[in-house]
Structure 1
Amino acid sequence: MGEDYLPGIYVQFLERFPDVAQAQGALARTVRECNPFDDRTDRLIKLAMAIGAEAEGAVRSNVRKALQHGATLDEVRAVALAAITTCGFPTAIAALGWIEEVAAASPTS
């Protein structure tokens, strides 16, 4: 999976709802421009939120993007480990599994 990997469901969303996708993209850019974090930190924060929400697709996406923006695999794993005490052991273990699957398929890991 390269930088341009897009899950099929996301491609379908883009094709079926281009106006919504454009508006969501504009909102995401606006929010990103308002935060003080560098891209690496931003992706690690988003990864943490995705883990807490148990959102598998978002976890996988943010792992890929965090690695692309310079985060190390150890840093990504540390985010999942931190979830043990805030989100629970099962949530953290699920996230670690998703992280390892993405890492195994990623040329940047």
Structure 2
Amino acid sequence: MSQQDLPSGAGKLADQYPEIWSAFESLGQACAEAGPLDARSRRLVKLALAVGAGSEGAVHSHMRRALREGVEPEALKQVAMLAIPTIGLPAGVAALTWMEDLID
């Protein structure tokens, strides 16, 4: 992801502290390579973590990336459905609305 594609807060951090951003990117790459999950599975897990954290910005970010990577919208929305029995109906519905911001 180029710095131009970053959300405003992350882009500002990357511009002001490039060495920290570089270390953060390296950490992300190392974590991605630390196990057997394929790229699609990793993207769905990261989306689920964003949903669980209640982070609209992170949900939007992982949705944009997932859609660019070819993950079908119905699989992405299923993440919100799976959240309902675990973190509650309001949180799952909120996540679904954040996802639909980018699908509709």
Report how far residue 98 of structure 1 moved.
Answer: 0.6
Which of structure 1's runs of 4+ aligned residues deviate more than 2 A?
A: none
| 2:9 paired residue number | 9
1: CA distance between counterparts of 2:29 and 2:82?
28
Aligned-residue CA RMSD (Å): 1.2
1: CA distance between counterparts of 2:30 and 2:71?
23
Higher relative contact order (CA 8 A, sep 6+): 1
2: CA distance between counterparts of 1:57 and 1:35?
26
Unaligned runs of 5+ in 2: none
1: CA distance between counterparts of 2:7 and 2:13?
10
The answer to whether 1:41 aligns with 2:71 is no
Unaligned runs of 5+ in 1: 105-109
Q: TM-score, normalised by structure 1?
A: 0.86
Q: TM-score, normalised by structure 2?
A: 0.90
| 2:61 paired residue number | 61
2: CA distance between counterparts of 1:42 and 1:64?
14
Report how far residue 8 of structure 1 moved.
Answer: 1.3
SS in 1 for 2:33: helix
Percent of pairs identical after alignment? 38
Q: Which AA in structure 2 matches 1:86? A: T
- Counterparts of 1:85-96 in structure 2, within 5 Å, are 85-96=85-96
2: CA distance between counterparts of 1:92 and 1:56?
12
Q: Which AA in structure 2 matches 1:10? A: A
| 2:80 paired residue number | 80
The answer to whether 1:98 aligns with 2:98 is yes
| 1:23 paired residue number | 23
